[in-house]
Chains A and B, each alone.
Chain A
Amino acid sequence: MSEPDVQERRDLQAAATSHRGDRVFNRIITGAAFVALLVLAGITVFLGAQAVPVLQTQGLDFLTTSVWSPPDYGIWGMLYGSVLLAVIALVIAVPASLLLSVFMVFLAPTSVAKVLTNLVDLMAAIPSVILGLWAFYILSPVSEQWQALLNQYLGWIPIFQNESGNFSGTPFTAGFILAIMMIPIVTSVTREVLGRTPPELINASEALGCSLWTMLRYVALPYGRGGLVGGVMLGLGRALGETIAVFFVLKIVFDPVNYYNIIESGGGSVATLIVSKFGEASGPYETQLLLAAGFFLFLGTLVVNAIANVIVNRTGRMQG
């Protein structure tokens, strides 16, 4: 070991250990940074611990049957219902958000686009309980009229069949209010993604004689594909976990499971099930059932959100 090496090592050591206050500070900050992990792990462990005894007593029937009468419980209808509502919401919200962001990015003058951005953000800030109140008193009556007309003219299509003549509490209305909650979330992502299309690509496509449609089809949409899919998935995660707005407009029905009659009264949603049954839970066992249902809801949204974030992050890095 020569002299300068020792000196260098001392310097490095001094730099690494530096100050005692710094080490304490680093430890506190690092500890705080892992609270997020702690909470996620806690949710998994504690709700999972409640799901185990439920699966032991009910067996896999808890996930594959649809019944809520003691002693048999199964949430298949609710799981399926959550997905059905999300699909309805996606069918409405994805085209609407894409078109809205196309308007804001490519068509509207800058001043109009700025105002619209603020209004869309305001829309995202409306609490779901208020949207639920609006949906119950304003949207539902209008929606019933639409559904009656849909059934009258398009009733031969299976999804628009309605035997009961009762158009209230349908998956259609619930999916519609979910779509309204999704539109601002998805739009804020898609607007940013479309806005990041390099202007030289847009100019080049215009110089080649592309129309707006060909430019979108061959330049903007492929360029931002990852971000667009990620934005939609984020909205989907929100739709799966939404509770209160759906609670006001959807009639929870376990049996028979409403598989595709979207304008027939009655449907399901795991999140809404938890809130609607919690108040009337008749003992620790029913509470445990709801906690188990919450566990599966958590797993579902976790997967959807993880996929969404991976996609969004990857495209974010690609574009710098």
Chain B
Amino acid sequence: MSATITFDDTTLPELQQQKPEAPWGRRTSKFRTVVILAVLIPATVVTLLFWFSSIPGPVIMIAVYFPLQLVASMIAAIAVRGTKAAADAVIIVSAIGATIFSMVVLISVLWTIITKGLQALSGAFIFQNNEYISPSTPLGYGGIGHAILGTVLIVAISAVIAVPLGVMTAVYITEVRGRAVPYVRFFVQAMSGVPSVVAGLFILTVFILTGVLDNSAFAAGLAYAILMLPTVARTAEEVLKLVPDDLRTGALALGSTRARVVLRVVIPAAKTGIITAAILGVARVVGETAPLLLTALKNDKTVLNPFSEPISALPTYIFDNVAQPYPDAVLRAWGAALTLMIIVAVLFTLTRFFSAKR
């Protein structure tokens, strides 16, 4: 304490009266009262409205509570820190408002999927197919077994095509470093913007309308591969960049060829990252519906041959059961949505797990 300057009454009376200002650290009683008032008044008004008026809840929140809270915070800010703080109050309240809005949407989506989906889920629902089932059939019969198989089959086909191509594209950008790197990168980015319905139309014109392929899992897999490739390529590129250059130069110095450096050193070093890239690619496509409607169509039977017949997948199953006039059919859609969401959530957790390990 000896180093700090102390003031005493005899030497510097005027300085002692003006205490050093620390505007960020002060919590005066006036500040507290104003903040408490700014929180309580809008909340009270809204609670009263909620009980004593017939305006629906969400509307009160957006049309009454949010503007009221905004005004209250502005007044509070002006009262405590002056007019300049009003803009800050607006930003802070709106930022919290936007965050709450997004989270309410997310929770509402997840909550409805889980509560409605659980009503449909059962052993029969998971394992049976949709043969001999009409929209009015009660929930105990039939299910999404064929659609789960369809999704697995289509996604597997697309992964087998898109993951190697995507990783090779990334290897071209980071390892081979040919002259066309900027162009390749640009094309991959442009490809990631291809709408899913256009990918479906492309496969439709090139392979199905020309008679090369039937409406089948393989055709749908090709359409999915178009959507998957850019995701895999971009993630794999990021991952390969993280491999230290010392490993590459070290392997070259030991007399290894460039091909061996990539295959034996770089790719094994980035293994978990490449798995993450593949999972992200699968997660990107697993819920896509539009390409399936154009290429795989639908089928109520269980299909195992990827070349011969139309095939259903989870997204198309949901699509078929939405807006049916029978409550049980709608519950089937929710059950399939829950299954799809569980698959997506598992993939999502896996990517987090792998990228944390890396």
Name which residue of chain B comes closest to A116, CB basis: B99
Q: Is the interface of B mostly helix, strand, loop or mixed?
A: helix
Q: Please tell me if the beta carbons of B319 and A244 are within 8 angstroms of each other in the complex.
A: yes
Residues of chain A contacted by B59 (CB below 8 angstroms) = 145-146, 149
Residues of chain A contacted by B178 (CB below 8 angstroms) = 26, 30, 33
Contact partner, B195, options A136, A137, A297, Cβ 8 Å: A297
Q: Mark A130-145, 1 if CB is under 8 A from B, else 0.
A: 1111101110001001
Q: Mark A115-138, 1 if CB is under 8 A from B, else 0.
A: 010111111011111111110111
Q: In chain A, residues 10-69, which have Cβ atoms closer than 8 Å to a Cβ of chain B?
A: 18-19, 21-22, 24-26, 28-30, 32-37, 39-40, 42-43, 46-47, 50
Residues of chain A contacted by B340 (CB below 8 angstroms) = 127, 129-130
Contact of A42 with B287 at beta-carbon distance under 8 Å, contacts A33-B169, A121-B348 already known: no
Q: Mark A271-289, 1 if CB is under 8 A from B, else 0.
A: 1001100110000100100
Q: In chain B, residues 109-131, which have Cβ atoms closer than 8 Å to a Cβ of chain A?
A: 109, 112-113
CA distance A28 to B353 in the complex (A): 32
B230 at the interface (CB under 8 A from A): yes
Residues of chain B contacted by A244 (CB below 8 angstroms) = 289-290, 315, 319
B191 at the interface (CB under 8 A from A): yes
Q: Please tell me if the beta carbons of B58 and A142 are within 8 angstroms of each other in the complex.
A: yes
Q: Please tell me if the beta carbons of B195 and A271 are within 8 angstroms of each other in the complex.
A: yes
CA distance A95 to B268 in the complex (A): 43
Contact partner, A33, options B173, B195, B330, Cβ 8 Å: B173
CA distance A29 to B261 in the complex (A): 14
Contact of A32 with B172 at beta-carbon distance under 8 Å, contacts A46-B202, A134-B108, A243-B290 already known: yes
Q: Please tell me if the beta carbons of A130 and B348 are within 8 angstroms of each other in the complex.
A: no
A229 at the interface (CB under 8 A from B): no
Q: Please tell me if the beta carbons of B184 and A33 are within 8 angstroms of each other in the complex.
A: yes
Query: Which residues of chain B have a CB within 8 Å of any CB of chain A?
Result: 56, 58-59, 62-63, 84-85, 87-88, 90-92, 94-99, 101-103, 105-106, 108-109, 112-113, 164-165, 168-169, 171-173, 175-176, 178, 180, 183-184, 186-198, 201-202, 204-206, 209, 226, 229-230, 233, 257-260, 262, 283, 286-290, 293-294, 315, 318-319, 322-323, 330, 333-334, 337, 340-341, 344-345, 347-348, 352
Sorted nearest first, the 7 A-B pairs with minimum C-beta distance are A127-B287, A241-B195, A305-B193, A32-B168, A33-B172, A25-B259, A213-B87
Can you show 16 pairs from A to B with CB atoms below 8 A apart?
Answer: A29-B171, A32-B168, A36-B184, A39-B194, A40-B194, A46-B206, A47-B205, A107-B92, A127-B289, A145-B59, A214-B87, A234-B193, A242-B195, A275-B197, A302-B190, A304-B193
